[in-house]
Amino acid sequence: MQILPVYLYANKLDVTLDLDATIRGVNQVMYQRDLTIQKGIQNQIRIQFKNSDQKRVSVSTTQTVIFTMFDAINRRMLVEKILDVLPETTSTKGMAVLTLNESDTLDLDKSSYTYSVRLRKDDGTYTPAYSNTYYGINGTLHVANDVFPVLKDSTSITSFLPTFNSSTGLYEYKSGNIYASPEFNSNPALHTVALYMTAYKGSVLIQGTLDSTPNDDRSYYTIENRAYTGFTGIDHVNFNGVFSYIRIIYIPAKGPIDPNNNNPSFFGSFDKVLYRS
């Protein structure tokens, strides 16, 4: 049996906040790690304040510590947060917590950004914290997207081939074969179709097939048949099953004085379909 170890621990970052009046020799750290956060989930990062001697510095819970994240190229601010300074104990001296919620990173690209941390003093002025012992104020933050799979774009269908059905005397508009990605589907194998219509009268058929090379109507069977009487908006259809291909057929309604169903002024319009499997 294979054993997979995983690790659950706090994301902790050291910053230098030298508030001591006495100037000492700097105990330089060779490397300061970059900060990495994950997109789309809540990230909590513990910020540990130290002086240049690598000793922890007390920060009062009444003081305001501000984290700012911005685009390194355009210098455009993206996120600004006030840190929660932890009550001082033996283990939490000089420690604050930065909380980045899901919404803070939702619109950010997977890329590298710049951040800074500053302390607001009682007189309203600010003291910078340094990202390393070489007095570099700005640090580097990487936004990763490794927690959730990336959704693929929906398939958009806007062209439909008109064919005349001699047995019904009606025109049928067919989408053609839409690949249903059966290799990615498993139980429950959910499919979603969004139908966009404007004052549409008629029916819509959603069909599926298991054939690898469907070439005629006999390859398909109808999964869903919906009727509309002047519908405007988006109608969603969900269905389950493993299919090689699906297709959409819309059959407009026939007007009272029309010889057949090719009068858009009567049946409105069937605009497009968005499909996701």
What value does the mean pLDDT take over residues 268-277?
Answer: 94
pLDDT for 229 equals 95
- Integer Cα distance of 137 and 54 in angstroms: 16
What value does the mean pLDDT take over residues 176-195?
Answer: 85
DSSP-derived 3-state class of residue 134: coil
What is the rounded end-to-end Cα distance, in angstroms, of the chain? 34
Higher-confidence position of 62 and 99: 99
- Integer Cα distance of 235 and 230 in angstroms: 13
- Integer Cα distance of 252 and 222 in angstroms: 17
- Integer Cα distance of 94 and 59 in angstroms: 5
pLDDT for 215 equals 84
- Integer Cα distance of 123 and 77 in angstroms: 24
Continuous segment of H or E residues that includes residue 80: strand 77-82
Find out whether 141 and 38 touch, Cβ atoms under 8 Å. Answer: no
What architecture is the 155-276 domain classified under in CATH? Sandwich (2.60)
Summarised one tens digit per residue, pLDDT across range 206-241 is 999 999 889 888 899 999 999 999 999 999 999 998
Per the prediction, the chain carries an average pLDDT of: 85
- For 11-144, CATH number out of 3.30.565.10, 3.40.630.30, 3.40.50.460, 2.60.40.3350 equals 2.60.40.3350
What value does the mean pLDDT take over residues 87-109?
Answer: 89
- The answer to whether residue 11 scores a pLDDT higher than 90 is no
- Integer Cα distance of 30 and 40 in angstroms: 32
- Integer Cα distance of 256 and 33 in angstroms: 75
What value does the mean pLDDT take over residues 192-204?
Answer: 96
pLDDT for 2 equals 47
DSSP-derived 3-state class of residue 233: strand
Find out whether 13 and 65 touch, Cβ atoms under 8 Å. Answer: no
- The answer to whether residue 101 scores a pLDDT higher than 50 is yes
Phi/psi of residue 266, each to 5°? Answer: -95, -50
Find out whether 19 and 122 touch, Cβ atoms under 8 Å. Answer: no
What value does the mean pLDDT take over residues 66-81?
Answer: 88
- Integer Cα distance of 100 and 170 in angstroms: 58
- The answer to whether residue 113 scores a pLDDT higher than 70 is yes
Listed by start position, the domains of the chain span: 11-144, 155-276
**Residue 22: pLDDT band with limits 50, 70, 90:** low
Phi/psi of residue 13, each to 5°? Answer: -130, 130
**Residue 175: pLDDT band with limits 50, 70, 90:** very high
How far does CA 271 lie from the centroid of its chain?
27
- The answer to whether residue 50 scores a pLDDT higher than 50 is yes
With a pLDDT cut of 90, the percent of the chain lying above it is 40
**Residue 270: pLDDT band with limits 50, 70, 90:** very high
pLDDT for 185 equals 66
